[in-house]
Every structure is written in structure tokens, then in C-alpha cells.
A and B are shown apart, each in its own frame.
Chain A
Amino acid sequence: MSFFMEVLLGGLLAGVMYSLVAIGFVLIYKASGVFNFAQGSMVLFAALTFVSLLERGLPFWLAFVLSLLSMLLLALLLERLVLRHLVNRPPITLFMATLGLSYVVEGVAQALWGAQVHGLDLGIEDTPLELGGLMLSRFDLFAAGSAGLLVLLLSLLFNKTRIGLSLRAVADDQLAALAVGIRLQRMWVLVWAVAGLVGLVAGLLWGARLGVQFSLSLIVLKALPVLIIGGFTSIGGAIVGGLIVGASEKLAEVYLGPLLSGGIENWFPYVLALLFLLLRPAGLFGERAIERV
């Protein structure tokens, strides 16, 4: 039983990392209706920038601020060059534009900083920690803690500030938000930059785990089932979805994997997401779409 609990908790903690990527999606989807496939490359870009700055001898906080600024710049360019021209296009077109965008961001990141693997040490030892008879990874706990802090900050931003109020207004009804004088384009820049911040945190945590390298951009594929299960429009949903995916994935790998000769982690979350979809097409916390002809 304690083995089961260990696998479950390990999975839940890994799930927190998935949630972190998924939150970036949700932010952008809520504010601009864009399903941002480039979130993975943004994670890569942010982490790669950070590591490269660190390797050039910059202190931790300066590298963090500069990476954040680069994400803000990216958001600005993106709004000016891409989003502005794609207003009122079907969501599928916007999605495909972000596919193109992910190519550009990956290409630029690797052209600037090179394609080799960078190690990243956040100063946390990844030694197992014994808690109530269960062995838990110290790093996973740290990751879960920072994710929790980030979510707390985000919910403060959304619920307690004027900017958050405008963002919620935009998410609720873009036209009405425009009508009361909210500058939609500025909000887009803001939300893409915040998604960049989330991407940076996710990139640092994932990068410390896997090394900062190209495969970091592939975690977008892990976040997709999370979104489906949680729903595209709910940050809470993204967290719950991440936990479900993380836990079930690890449990399936341990208990189901040997029967199927292993390696099922890649597709299991998708099948799980499909099952969820068949029961609840809008996800657990998503808004039900009302169709009119």
C-alpha cells in the first residue's frame, strides 16, 4: 500500500509540473481565444535565455529579470506582427498560426543560444525526503511549492487588481470589454507576457529536471490532455487536470505498463482525455458551448 501511495504522490507532484505548462495555455485562451501551441516553445525560449545568461556570468536575479523582459518583448512583437492581423479569424486559423509561431520561436531560440543541452542547477538537491514513511522527491516538493506560489500570485492578480478586472472582462466578453474602453491589444500583450512568466517558471523547473534542451518544447504535448480534462477556460481545471494526468500516468506505467511491455506514458494521457471527453465534452470545469444556427 505504501508503494501505491508513493507512486500516487510522485505522480501528483509530476502532475503539478504539467499543470504549470497548462496554466500558460489557459491564460492566453481565456483572454484572446487563441489555442497557443507555441506555449512549449515559449517555455524552451525562456529557459534557454535564462540558462545562457546565467552561463555568461550574470547573477540569478538579473538573468531572471532579463529573461522576463525578453518574454515581454516577444509578447509585444507577437501582438504587433501576428495577433493584430488575425482578429476575427476562425480559431483554427489562429491555432495554425501559433504552430508556425512555435517553429519561429524554436528556430530563433536555437539560433541565438545554440542547440546543445544546458544543465541547470537551481540549488535544490534531488534527494529523497522521508515524510510519514513515504519517500518523496525534495525537488518535486519544491516544484509543487513554487507552482502553488505562482497560482496564488496569479489569482491575486486576477481578483484583486484593476488589470485583473480588465482581464476578466476581456475573457468574459471581448466586445463588451471594448465597449467600456478596455484596450484589448494592450491586454493581449499583458496576458502573453504573463503566460511567458509562467513559461519561464515552468521552463526553469523542467529544465532543472531534464536539462534545458529542445525536448523541452515537447511538453506542450503533455499539457494538451491536461487541458482537455480540466477544460480550456479554468485555471483550477488546469491544476486538477494536471494532477489527474500525472497520477494516472504514473499508476498506469507501474501497474499497466508491464502488461503492455512499457512505454505507455506517451499515449495514456490522451486515451484518458478521450474517455473524459466522451463523458464531458467541455472538460471538467470548462464552459459548455451553446450552439446556435
Chain B
Amino acid sequence: MFYQESGQFSTRYRQDGRALRLWQQRAALWALLALAFGLLPFIGNDYWFSAILIPFLVLSLAGLGLNLLTGYAGQLSLGSAAFMAVGAFASYKLQFLLPGLPLLLSFVAGGVVAAAVGVVFGLPSLRIKGFYLLVSTLAAQFFVEWLLTKFAWFSNGNESGVITAPPLLVAGHDFGSPAGRYLLTLSVVLPLFVLAANLVRSSLGRNWMAVRDMDTAAAVIGIPILRTKLLAFAISSFILGVAGSLWAFTYLGTVEPHGFDLSRSFQVLFIIILGGMGSILGNFLGAAFIVLLPIVLSILSGSLLSGVLPAGQLENLQKIIFGVLIILFLIKEPDGLARLWQGWRARARLWPLRF
């Protein structure tokens, strides 16, 4: 019903190469973009921007970064937050060292530095696999955290390690208001998603998936393992680095190492488990879930269970629910929310007839 694709034929090769083949999909995307750029900035309130939309967008981007590495290239990582931290601090430091550096350029530069760090910690992946790789990524996590807290150079001699992010000026416009920060985040996140969506359809993306499914077999059929794995680390860390810069600059407004600890890495991993490994859409779904669940829970406990549930128990309850959901998803739907969405779409095609 909603997804009648009959009669939509490709008459040119270019049309065959499109990411979205159906006009319904393209129309929905444009409508969504119009909503996100045209409508939301005017109707949303500050709470929506600061507490929901901005963290949602940034975490989606972080999820995308990890998804490229874990979901597509099959390299398990628990160090995502470290690469985010590198991006954030590199952007900040570059802004400080080179006054007048355009903000967007410093985000990109932060991403590039994170990519370089990612390649260094990705090097062991050429020799070690699976769980053993966790060691390398955890080493990154602890080492980066230690480096950024211990050496004051990174935070410009600030003892607490917490520094205020510089004003968000792009081409003379101040994006400091909540709506402005939202727009800025959105305009950084979207191009990266477009890039990634096309990347995973390219030959590099197919190489990643071959390495993920079995890297020995991939090597046998002539896929350059070295280049493929290191590119996965580099591109994933680049995206994570940009996400880290956004997290610090547009969401928190401060740059601090403690915002990027191990629990953040877990959070990003949960986004891709719940959202769907090896799916681009899944990052949005997973991030939305992770951002909304605590809010929904606290509202629920505030209205339904007020008085019944002691205040301290809410956090425990949240933990238990997260854990149960993760196990449940791994058992019932290992491909996550993205898969559920696909299933719904397949049914919507035929609705109201079942066959």
C-alpha cells in the first residue's frame, strides 16, 4: 500500500546506482529533511534541542563510526569514547593554537587526528582477532583518558581538565543558541551519513563485509587485508572524532576527558547492538532509543510510581532494563531495530492484503 514499487523501472545505469530506488523513499527523505531543517528549528523549544535532539544526532554519528568498524568490518571495539575524546581535544587545541581557524575545519582536523590515533591502535588488528582485539581498543581507552588528564598541555594548563568550548561561530554567524547548535550539529552529521551510506555500498564497503564474515577467506580471494582493516579504523575513528568534537562543542559546551570514559564506549556499543549492526538507519534508531529511554523512564516513574520507587532505584532499574533489552535483542533480533523496521516495511507493502 505505502510501498508500491510496481512500475518503477530503472532506464539508466545511474538510476540503478541510487541509494534510494523508490520515489516513496526519496519523498520521505526530503520530507524528513524539510521537517528537520525547516520546521523543527522554529517550533522546538530549548529543552527539545539541548536534551533530546542534539545528543540524539551526535550519538547517531558516534554509532555510525563504531558501526562501520564493528558492524561492517567486524572489528570489535571498546575504545570509541577514546577516539571521540581525541577528536574533541584536537579540535579544541587547534582552535587555540591557530586562532581564526574556521570552526568546521577544526572539526574536520579533529577527525583527522582521531583517525591517525585510530590507525595506530588498529595496527594490532592485523595480527590479533576477536576478543583479543578488545585489548588494543581498551588500551586506547585507558591510555587516552590518562594522557588527557595527566598532561595539562592538552587542556591549556587548566588543572581540573574541564575547559569551556569556544563560541560557535561559522562564517560570522553565531550558532550559540539551542536552535543554532541543533542546526550546526545537523549540518555536520548529515553529510557524514550520506558519505557513509555510499561508502558501505562501494567496493571498500564490500571488502569490509568480506573481512567481517571471514578474513582468512577474504585474504584468499585477494582482498588487501592490511588496507581494508586500517581504512576501517581510520574512517571509523574520523567519524568518532567528529562526533566527539560535536559532543564537546555543541552538546556539553565543555571539553573534558571524563565525558569520554568507558561507559560512553559501552553506550555507543549499545546503540549499534540495539539499532542494528551493519545498518546505517540502525544508528539513528539505536541512538533515539538510548536517548529517549532514560527520559521516558523518569517520566513514567515520576507519574506512575511516584513514592513507590525510591529515587536511587531509578538508575538501577534503568541499568536492568538496558541489560535485559540487550540480551533480548541478541536472542530475538540480532539485527536490531533496523531489522524490525524492515519487517514492518515488508508488511506495509502488502497491506491490507496479507499475500
Contacts and interface: CB of A to CB of B under 8 A. Distances in A.
B220 interface: yes
Interface string B69-93: 0000000100000000000000000
Interface stretch (A98-106, A140-148, A179-187): A98-106
Interface string B91-117: 000000000000000000000000000
Interface in A255-284: 260-264, 266-267, 270-271, 273-274, 277-278, 281
Interface in B186-227: 214, 216-217, 220
A111 interface: yes
B30 interface: no
A108 B320 contact: yes
B143 A270 contact: yes
Contacts of A82: 327, 331
B324 A104 contact: yes
A6 B193 CA distance: 56
Interface stretch (B125-133, B161-169, B339-347): B125-133
B41 interface: no
Interface string A83-97: 001100101110111
Interface stretch (A57-65, A121-129, A157-165, A220-228): A220-228
Given A261-B151, A266-B142, A274-B139, A111 B317 contact: yes
Contact of B217 (A232, A263, A293): A293
Nearest to A105: B323
Given A99-B269, A274-B139, A261 B326 contact: no
A224 B142 contact: no
Interface in B132-169: 132, 134-136, 138-139, 142-143, 145-146, 149-151
A115 interface: yes
Contacts of B324: 100, 104
Interface residues on B, range: 35 or more
Scoring B132, B143, B262, B326 by chain A CB atoms within 10 A of each residue's CB, the highest score goes to: B132
A263 B313 contact: no
Nearest to A229: B135
A270 B135 contact: yes
A267 B143 contact: yes
B316 interface: yes
Given A263-B146, A293-B216, A277 B127 contact: yes
A103 B146 contact: no
A291 B127 CA distance: 13
A100 B217 CA distance: 31
Contact of A97 (B143, B150, B326): B326
Contact of B323 (A95, A104, A114): A104
Contact of A107 (B142, B316, B326): B316
A96 B330 contact: yes
B150 A262 contact: yes
Contact of B326 (A35, A103, A263, A271): A103
A80 to B, nearest CB: 12
B124 interface: yes
Contact of A261 (B150, B322, B323): B150
A228 B323 contact: no
A107 B312 CA distance: 11
B269 to A, nearest CB: 7
Given A96-B330, A267-B143, A103 B320 contact: yes
A100 B326 contact: yes
Contacts of A224: 134-135, 138
B131 A91 contact: yes
A174 interface: no
A110 interface: yes
Interface of B: 76, 124, 127-128, 130-132, 134-136, 138-139, 142-143, 145-146, 149-151, 214, 216-217, 220, 262, 266, 269, 273, 312-313, 316-320, 322-327, 330-331, 334
What 8 A-B pairs have minimum CB-CB distances, sorted nearest first?
A: A103-B323, A100-B326, A104-B323, A107-B319, A270-B139, A107-B320, A267-B142, A111-B316
10 contacts: A82-B331, A95-B76, A101-B323, A103-B322, A104-B323, A111-B316, A270-B142, A281-B132, A292-B216, A293-B217
Interface of A: 35, 81-82, 85-86, 89, 91-93, 95-97, 99-108, 110-111, 114-115, 221, 224-225, 228, 232, 260-264, 266-267, 270-271, 273-274, 277-278, 281, 291-293
Given A103-B319, A278-B128, 4 more contacts: A108-B316, A266-B145, A270-B142, A277-B132
